[in-house]
Amino acid sequence: IAKQAGRNRFHFFAKEYGRQADRRLWLEHAMKHALSHREFFLEYQPKIDSKTRAVVGLEALVRWRKDGKVIPPGEFISLAEETGLIIPLGKYIIEATIRDLAILRASRFPAVPVAVNISAGQFTDPSFSRYVANTLAEGGLTSAAIELEITESLLMQNLAPTISALREMREAGVRIAIDDFGTGYSSMSYLRDLPVDTLKIDKSFIDDIAKGERGRGIVHAIIILGHHLGLTVTAEGVEVEEQANILRTLGCDQMQGYLYCKPLGVEQLLTWHAHTETSLR
Ligand code: C2E
Ligand code: MG
Ligand code: MG
Ligand code: MG
């Protein structure tokens, strides 16, 4: 019976594996189609200054509109990274962001920088920094108009090539943030010398700050560390006022989260801003 069960299990996994491989192939094909048919689009989430409550930045977040449904990046970015599709998709994202920036700059929205999430594979593409500079110039924008966010774990996995690319970008005037900070095992000695401007504290830590002393302690320590390194510290995923109050007391510089605003398309963002410009303060 055991042998029988084992065989059945093998068949079960073989079948599942087959399905998964099919799904990957299907998804890869669908993504290629989506790229040429402009099914990807961006939403933007504001970053709020903790003290003044002004909008001090935006983060561009990619979505895929497929057959009337919106697919979140968690379902396709890692496959795009594995298949190399992140290179054309990443270019599309930067170009779309710069197009949207032109709309925002022509409106009453404050002229804040937009942060774009970048995968390690994009950074290690040797033409990346030239590409970013050219695209900005074509859009009539300076390097201060965009920031790049790279996750701590991707950064640490590709340290040497990524650091030299970061350095190049930064010399060109583009600001860099470490995303999901606290989840990726940065070593302190690397952190000291990393060419970055901002630490974004991962949402998982923000979730804990209103729950007790220990959760708060970690966030406080990250903020102090960031400030000693001369960095701006941003909290991700702030959902309730209590978290915002604690973060303000701990000296966190910027906040981002559903408490203030969900990621929105450009038109909705303009409406949001027109309605909340005064009420946030
Ligand atoms: P991330 O860069 O850390 O972005 C923050 C994520 O948290 C976003 O999810 C955002 O919608 C969500 N979020 C913001 N505030 C709150 C909140 O108060 N509560 C909750 N529960 N969630 C909040 P999203 O848009 O699904 O993106 C997930 C991840 O996918 C991003 O994490 C980023 O790593 C990646 N990603 C998104 N857009 C791009 C892109 O254009 N390129 C690349 N390479 N990666 C991207
Ligand atoms: Mg990010
Ligand atoms: Mg993050
Ligand atoms: Mg994340």
**Residue with the two structure tokens 């040797």:** 126
Share above pLDDT 90 across residues of the chain, in percent, rounded to a whole number: 74
Sorting pLDDT into bands at 50, 70 and 90, what band is 190? confident
pLDDT in tens, 25-71: 888 999 999 999 999 999 999 999 999 999 999 999 999 999 999 99
More confident site: 180 or 158: 180
Sorting pLDDT into bands at 50, 70 and 90, what band is 230? very high
For the CA of 238, the nearest atom of ligand 1: 18
Residue with CA nearest ligand 1 atom 15: 257
Ligand 1 contact via 184 beta carbon (within 6 Å): no
- Mean pLDDT confidence for 255-278: 94
Give Rg (Cα) of the chain. 21
CA of 131 to the centre of ligand 4 (A): 25
CA of 61 to the centre of ligand 1 (A): 6
pTM value is 0.92
Number of residues written out for the chain? 281
Long-range contact pairs involving 204-208 (C-beta distance under 8 Å, separation at least 24): 206/235, 206/236, 206/237, 206/238, 206/239, 206/243, 206/247, 206/257, 207/237
Ligand 1 contact via 243 beta carbon (within 6 Å): no
More confident site: 16 or 109: 109
pLDDT for the residue numbered 120: 80
Residue with CA nearest ligand 1 atom 33: 117
On whether the CB atoms of residues 199 and 222 are closer than 8 A, the answer is yes
**Residue with the two structure tokens 């408490």:** 259
Ligand 1 contact via 121 beta carbon (within 6 Å): no
Which residues lie near ion ligand 2 (Cβ < 5 Å)? 117, 149, 179
